[in-house]
């Protein structure tokens, strides 16, 4: 039996479980045999947190939660479960009680804010032609185009959903800042990571999509947290 925890990976806005592909491959090489990448509906924080809770309670033994982008808000909201041993934030929102991703974003608007476009059904998209420069400028243009075409748009109202009881106040945490992030301002990431009391904070010269562009470094932080 492996003594490693189950790792549950949580994607953010404009992504899906497949954004973790590179990190999953690295964790498999490190001997992690129990890995899950949840697919969120991105319809509300309550529904996304409930989807994560359902996956976590199905696991036997300890669970480490890893959230990218808005996925950080989801692990913050859902992470105070008995079998959750820690929280890892990857260029992610880590809101306090009463805070929402949208409210945090307004404090330091990101470079690519102008490249977001709502549709008539209430979903918020990154303009596909602008996805590469906005979300993942350190990947190839082709990779960026594919990610733009396959993006999973959230309901715009989800931005305003506030955290009620942040799990990071009870669980140990780790944080990775992306210094070249155009979707969550690095200044916001620095502020959120500083107040976590995180066991470790690392900064990568990476885009918002550090999970795709820096999978080795991201997996190494997850591995350290799993042993932590």
Does the structure show a pLDDT above 90 at 2?
Answer: no
Tokens at 173, concatenated = 């945490």
Using one digit for the tens of pLDDT, what is the confidence trace for 124-143? 999 999 999 999 999 999 99
| pTM over cut 0.85 | yes
> Could you state, in order of their start, the residue ranges of all structural domains in the chain?
6-227
Q: pLDDT at position 108, please?
A: 96
- At 79-103, the pLDDT tens digits run 999 999 999 999 999 999 999 999 9
Distances (CA, A) of 20 to 8, 108, 223, 224: 11, 27, 15, 18
Sheet architecture: strand order including 173-178: 35-38, 6-10, 63-68, 84-90, 173-178, 200-204
Give the percent of the chain with pLDDT over 70.
99
The model's pLDDT over 140-170, given as tens digits with 9 standing for 90+, comes to 999 999 999 999 999 999 999 999 999 999 9
pLDDT, one tens digit per residue, over 5-59 is 999 999 999 999 999 999 999 999 999 999 999 999 999 999 999 999 999 999 9
- Assign 1 a pLDDT band (cuts: 50, 70, 90): very low
**What CATH number has the domain spanning 6-227?**
3.40.50.1820
Q: What is the pLDDT of residue 228?
A: 85
Residue 219 reports pLDDT greater than 80: yes
């Amino acid at each position: 039996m492996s003594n490693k925890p189950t790792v549950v990976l949580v994607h953010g806005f404009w992504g899906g479980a497949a954004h973790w592909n590179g990190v999953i491959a690295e964790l498999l090489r490190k001997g992690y045999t129990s890995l899950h990448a949840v697919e969120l509906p991105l319809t509300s924080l309550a529904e996304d947190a409930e989807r994560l809770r359902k996956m976590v309670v199905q696991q036997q033994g300890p669970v480490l939660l890893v959230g990218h982008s808005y996925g950080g808000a989801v692990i913050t909201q859902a992470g105070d479960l008995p079998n959750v041993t820690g929280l890892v934030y990857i260029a992610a929102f880590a809101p306090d009680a009463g805070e929402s991703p949208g409210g945090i974003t307004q404090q330091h608007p990101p470079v690519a804010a102008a490249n977001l476009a709502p549709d008539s059904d209430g979903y918020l998209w990154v303009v596909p032609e602008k996805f590469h420069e906005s979300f993942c400028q350190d990947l190839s243009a082709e990779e960026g185009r594919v990610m733009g075409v396959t993006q999973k748009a959230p309901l715009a109202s989800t931005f305003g959903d506030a955290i009620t009881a942040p799990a990071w106040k009870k669980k140990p945490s780790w944080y990775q800042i992306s210094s070249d992030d155009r979707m969550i301002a690095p200044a916001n990431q620095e502020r959120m990571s500083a107040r976590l009391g995180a066991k470790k904070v690392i900064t990568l010269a990476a885009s918002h999509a550090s999970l795709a562009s820096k999978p080795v470094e991201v997996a190494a932080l997850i591995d350290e947290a799993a042993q932590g």
